Amino acid sequence: MTVNNGLATLWRTLTAPGLAALCTIVLGLALACGGTDPTAPLPLYTVLPIGGVQLAAPAGSELRQPIQVEVREPDGAPAKGVAVRFRIVSGRGAVLTDTLVATNADGVGLTRLRLGGTRDSVVIAGSVRGQEDRGVEFRVLPTAPAELIAVQPATYASGDTIVLRGARLADGGSDVLFGSARGRVVGAPSDTLVQAVVPPCLPSGAVSVAVRTGSATTNSVPTVSLSADAPLRLATGEGITSRGTEAGCLRLQTPGQRYLLVPQYASYADSVPAERQYALAIDGATTATMVDDSARRASVQPAAGRLDVRGAFEQMLRATERDIARDVARDAAPAEPTDLEGARAEVRSPNTAALTDLPPPPSLGSTRTFRVLSRLDGTAFTSTTARLRYAGTNILLYEDVGAPAPLADTTVTQLGDLFDRTLYEIDATTFGTESDIDGNGRVIVLMTPLVNALTSAAQCTSQGYVPGYFFGVDLDTRNKNSNRGEIYYSFVPDPGGERSCPHRLGDVMALLPATFLHEFQHMISFNQHVLVRRGSVEAVWLNEGLSHVAEELGARYYDVRYPAPSGRTQTSALLPDSAVPFLRGNLENATLYLSSPTSHSVTAFRDFGTLEERGAAWLFLKWLGAQKGDGVYARLVQTGLRSGQNVESAAGEPFASLFGDFALALYADSVPGLPRAAVSPRYRTGTRPLRELLARGFGLSGYPLALRGQPLTGSLAFVNMVQGTATYFLLTVPAGGVTVRLTGPNGGALSPTLSPQLGVLRISP
């Protein structure tokens, strides 16, 4: 990841030199700098358990439901943004995902529990920090874990079907693990018996076999693998992902069968994309259809406003926030109190002293001065005055007094209600809470022509523009340019092009909502990762991918609100008109990625993400949500983990396993000529097939995934591919069968740091 080397100097320059040490929140709630006495007593909150206090789960597993409490104000109202502390009172080996959390808009704070391998009861206490005597306790009884008793036969070869016997093997679904390789489950008639096919390319010798059930893995049973070169047998629509194929162990035997071959580098280490060459060898004559990577890309043009200017600007924003995160972690992380009984929170939000007396919003029509970025590189700020036009429960909408085309009152009401009642709730419900360092209980939307003016008219026309942004500097009171509050900055209508290129009211209204959802996720993520947990900002690929998921959530909201054929200018349209602006950008980005996947990574971004890379990250997270449910997005945001480790923890699976099935899903989600039901749900990217979404939702005449194929009679096909992506080949098996090998360019094994693996999907009878 390339970072501007001048950012550190810029940061020191912009920081007010005489201010006191950073008064930052420990729990993501605020900075107690002036205005409120930080030593004032907390109001006495009421803490109630949610979902019962007597719980149970198999030993060694993760409790299916979260440990959660509801915090109420003294008047009974939900207490948002309150620091809740969870701790394990007793129970060996148990681990909580979080010990310090912030309550959401409903006053709910939660954590998750993974039990140890013993049968000891676990007691968890949850309380407002500093009010431990007013908390609640949960008792979790570990039940008998899943157990693997026998593998029959205990000696086998690749391709054999074996029987695994045990107890409680089918809880939450089962995966059979041969060492680290995953076998194919072909039957589970009861929770005491599972049938599985031994995976290809399993090395000869001793192999430990275990069953993964839900979030837990059984004990392992020793077995012996005899060979690794039996022909692969897959049913139509069935796929596998395999490692170690350089040994010539993967054989496809039946003539005429068609397969998709997907070489992958399933790595996620923080790094810039770098091409590494692999060789795909297919021993035997093959026939396939070649679609050049550039064939479809030429017909897809990025939308205005989503070009290089915006990407460079976001690079500056997120890199600056990374520096802030380092400062928060280094300078403002008070230690846990050693006296846990009756301990008080050392640092509190200005609003925690009297949350029941939350100040009313300023009067409509009142003005306020803001410091706003005036250069794309972040080196200059300008003061501007804005008038409060709308005050809601969650949002304050200010409009710059210098706006070229002030909004009509009816437009302000429409826009304010949209932000306050719909968009805010979509993100906050899905991802978590933002901070509240100014204690006003609301997010400010500032509409100012200074955002328009970040790009000249010439830049705007040729390179795009910035429609809106969130900047973490506003959450750091040390900085003299900080507005000390949660602010989203938006461009304004400028039909005459006074401040940059012209923007009509309709253009602003169409783009602004999706941009708000995108940037608000960044605001929430910064709070949850940096302020609540004093950690690093999320890895760029995952942070941006989640913000693109936020945009999609807007489309899904309107899709549910307007079932077909309502809400559509053309009644045959796949999506309601109101959903299209939220999804179009993601579909454009996804199309660009699919047309050239070999050169663009899901997990390694150039700077802060090309359009193709953003499309890749969105597709991966869209698929992940389809597999794990939308609750996975909150787990990805409300954590101190980051990047692939975060994904593994939230999903409960190794990243390579997830990535392998995702890579196959990009083709397998509605294979032409096959009923969708013939393919495993594991290969679906959502309720609607991806092909249909791109064709009817975006107007593509064909699916853009670049497919390679050529005769490879006894020779090697050399391909350069960046990490964190895949290449797609179509193969028809000739008479006599073929052996498929994924190797390094010299014929040996590829570097394990790339996490190389080969996906195989049978796509014809």
- Residue 478, pLDDT above cutoff 90: no
Give dist(CA 690, CA 666) in Å, integer. 8
- What is the distance of C-alpha 396 from the center of its chain? 28
Report percent pLDDT > 90 for the chain: 62
Half-sphere exposure of residue 178: CA atoms within 13 angstroms, side-chain side: 34
Cα-based distances in Å from 53 to 65, 123, 130, 139, 544:
12, 10, 22, 6, 37
Residues 347-391: pLDDT tens digits? 233 333 334 446 799 999 999 999 999 999 999 999 999 999 999
Q: In the beta sheet, which residues pair with residue 282?
A: 740
| 220 contact partners, CB below 8 Å, separation of at least 6 | 148, 208, 209, 210
Q: Residue 168: which region, alpha, beta or left (left: phi > 0; alpha: psi -120 to 50)?
A: left
**Average pLDDT score over residue span 473-483:** 91
Q: Which pair of tokens denotes residue 630?
A: 């939308």
Residues 504-542: pLDDT tens digits? 999 999 999 999 999 999 999 999 999 888 889 999 999
Lowest-confidence range among 147-161, 338-352, 387-401, 704-718?
338-352
- Residue 320, pLDDT above cutoff 60: yes
pLDDT band at 227 (very low <50, low <70, confident <90, very high): confident
Residue whose token pair is 């096919």: 197
Give dist(CA 26, CA 345) in Å, integer. 9
Q: Which pair of tokens denotes residue 135?
A: 């908390």
**Average pLDDT score over residue span 545-560:** 97
What integer best gives the mean pLDDT of the chain? 85
- Residue 479, pLDDT above cutoff 60: yes
> What's the pLDDT score for residue 284?
65
The bridge status of strand 95-96 relative to strand 239-242 is: unpaired
Contacts 24+ apart (CB under 8 A), 32-37: 32/347, 32/348, 32/349, 32/350, 33/350, 33/477, 33/484, 35/350, 35/439, 36/350, 36/351, 36/353, 36/439, 37/353
- Residue 20, pLDDT above cutoff 90: no
> What's the pLDDT score for residue 202?
87
> What's the pLDDT score for residue 302?
40
- Residue 761, pLDDT above cutoff 90: yes
CATH topology for the 147-226 domain? Immunoglobulin-like (2.60.40)
Question: Which part of the chain has CATH 2.60.120?
Answer: 238-294+707-763
DSSP 578: G
Give dist(CA 612, CA 26) in Å, integer. 37
Residue whose token pair is 């393919």: 679
Alpha-helical runs (H) found in 689-764: 690-698
CATH topology for the 238-294+707-763 domain? Jelly Rolls (2.60.120)
> What's the pLDDT score for residue 244?
83
- Residue 220, pLDDT above cutoff 90: yes
Q: Which pair of tokens denotes residue 59?
A: 């030993």
Length of the chain, in residues = 765
pLDDT band at 714 (very low <50, low <70, confident <90, very high): low
pLDDT band at 592 (very low <50, low <70, confident <90, very high): very high
Q: Does residue 737 or residue 32 have the better pLDDT?
A: 737
Half-sphere exposure of residue 177: CA atoms within 13 angstroms, side-chain side: 18
From the list 659, 657, 547, 665, the residue with the least C-alpha distance to 603 is 659
> What's the pLDDT score for residue 242?
92
Q: Which pair of tokens denotes residue 722?
A: 């960046």
Residue whose token pair is 């999907």: 761
pLDDT band at 11 (very low <50, low <70, confident <90, very high): very low
Give dist(CA 681, CA 664) in Å, integer. 12
- Residue 293, pLDDT above cutoff 90: no
> What's the pLDDT score for residue 247?
73
> What's the pLDDT score for residue 477?
82
pLDDT band at 228 (very low <50, low <70, confident <90, very high): low
Report percent pLDDT > 70 for the chain: 86
> What's the pLDDT score for residue 282?
84
Give dist(CA 695, CA 645) in Å, integer. 34
Residue whose token pair is 């992902």: 241
CATH topology for the 46-143 domain? Immunoglobulin-like (2.60.40)
**Average pLDDT score over residue span 259-283:** 89
Q: Is the CB of residue 474 less than 8 Å from the CB of residue 398? A: no
Give dist(CA 513, CA 520) in Å, integer. 10
> What's the pLDDT score for residue 207?
95
- Residue 23, pLDDT above cutoff 90: no
> What's the pLDDT score for residue 673?
87
**Average pLDDT score over residue span 89-93:** 91
DSSP string, 75-101: TS-B-TT-EEEEEEEE-TT-EES-SEE
DSSP string, 254-317: STT-EEEEEEEE----S----EEEEEEEEES--B-----TTTTGGG--PPTTSSHHHHHHHHHH
Lowest-confidence range among 116-120, 212-216, 513-517?
212-216
Question: Which part of the chain has CATH 2.60.40.10?
Answer: 46-143, 147-226
> What's the pLDDT score for residue 331?
67
pLDDT band at 272 (very low <50, low <70, confident <90, very high): confident
Residue 664 has phi, psi (to 5 degrees) of -70, -35
Lowest-confidence range among 69-83, 237-251, 374-388?
237-251
> What's the pLDDT score for residue 550?
98
- Residue 240, pLDDT above cutoff 90: yes
> What's the pLDDT score for residue 5?
34
Give dist(CA 23, CA 407) in Å, integer. 38
Alpha-helical runs (H) found in 484-610: 505-526, 540-561, 580-595
Cα-based distances in Å from 560 to 133, 599, 699:
44, 36, 21
Q: In the beta sheet, which residues pair with residue 259?
A: 731, 762
Q: Which pair of tokens denotes residue 71?
A: 């915090």
**Average pLDDT score over residue span 279-283:** 85
Residues 156-190: pLDDT tens digits? 998 899 999 999 887 656 789 999 889 989 888 89
